[in-house]
Amino acid sequence: MGLKIWLDGVLVDEADAKISVYDHGVLYGDGVFEGIRFYNGRVFRFEEHMKRLYLSAKAIVLDLKISEEELSQAVLDTIRANDLKDGYIRLVVTRGVGGLGLNPYLCEKPSIFIISSAIKLYPDEHYENGLKLITCATRRPTPASLSPQVKSLNYLSNVMAKIECIQAGALEGIMLNEQGYVAECTGDNLFIVKDGVVYTPPISDGALDGITRKVIFDLCEQEGIEIREKTMGRYDVFVADECFLTGTAAEVIPVVGLDSREIADGKPGPLSQLLVTKFRELANSTGTEIYA
């Protein structure tokens, strides 16, 4: 017996968790998702993730046909069914079964599934020694085509950029926008530190307004660290004093190089290390109780 998957209102064995080949999520990447972490029996930033899911769905005119409260309960039920205290949730909403044409209004009901499992995005040594990045040739899709705030199922540009990273022997890479400025990485937000100030690209440059990104703003305020949004190019990363990435799956991880160039002395910097520590403390001590 494998994991229990919540699928359209029923907990099923993972081998039985199946959706139709006519589902528009399969045919067209038509749907939205959230990745959510839970630590020490608590779901971290649960309400923020659920709110973003419903906003993403609204933006693409997708009615979930289930309340946020009911779906939140389903997430907790799925974690409990798998008897987990630490792990990762993938909550996916597809447009549902429809015709072979694009018309989404032929899809009568969305399909929703929830996976609750363990995850480790990067090996432990990279949190201690830092990541080395490349700049991907694949550009971040323009916000004029689809807002980066919509976490849609169509991640093909990110997948192609990830292929570039793997082929270059890197675990992650920077994606630029159409103007050539830094947007984000293939799956993470990017921050740099310069002269004691933390900077990150504004969401208007193509970055997702990530939930872990927001946590960094809170932690910087708490620690008295100045933080700003700033349009930046590769030059800004090359000459930074420090660099780090954030994401739900990645958490907070230092970066020590870009395109075979060391950032500063090629070691994780003190502010990056501080924020890694503070994030872990916060994530392991706050959140929505699972087994209360």
| Cα–Cα nearest to 154, from 163, 165, 141, 164 | 141
| Cα–Cα nearest to 74, from 25, 23, 5 | 5
Which of the following CATH numbers is that of domain 4-117: 3.90.1150.10, 3.40.50.970, 3.30.450.20, 3.30.470.10?
A: 3.30.470.10
Residue 151 bears catalytic tag: yes
What dotted CATH number matches 124-283?
3.20.10.10
Question: How far from each other are the two terminal CA atoms of the chain, in whole angstroms?
Answer: 26
Q: 16: how many CB neighbours lie within 10 A of its CB?
A: 10
The active-site residue, picked from 4, 132, 151, 162, is 151
Q: State the pLDDT at residue 181.
A: 98
Q: State the pLDDT at residue 1.
A: 60
Q: State the pLDDT at residue 166.
A: 97
The values of phi and psi at residue 51, to 5°, are -60, -45
Q: State the pLDDT at residue 119.
A: 85
**Residue intervals in the chain for CATH 3.20.10.10:** 124-283
Helix (H, G, I), strand (E, B) or coil at 32: strand
Q: DSSP readout, 120-152?
A: -SS-HHHHHH-EEEEE-SSPPPPTTTS-TTS-B
- pLDDT tens, residue order, the chain (292 aa): 689 999 999 999 999 999 999 999 999 999 999 999 999 999 999 999 999 999 999 999 999 999 999 999 999 999 999 999 999 999 999 999 999 999 999 999 999 999 999 888 798 999 999 999 999 999 999 888 889 999 999 999 999 999 999 999 999 999 999 999 999 999 999 999 999 999 999 999 999 999 999 999 999 999 999 999 999 999 999 999 999 999 999 999 999 999 999 999 999 999 999 999 999 999 999 999 999 8
Angle between helices 211-223 and 46-59 (to 10 degrees): 140
Residues 140, 208: contact at Cβ < 8 Å? no
**Residue intervals in the chain for CATH 3.30.470.10:** 4-117
107: burial class by Cβ within 10 Å (0-12, 13-18, 19+)? Answer: buried
Residues 220, 228: contact at Cβ < 8 Å? no
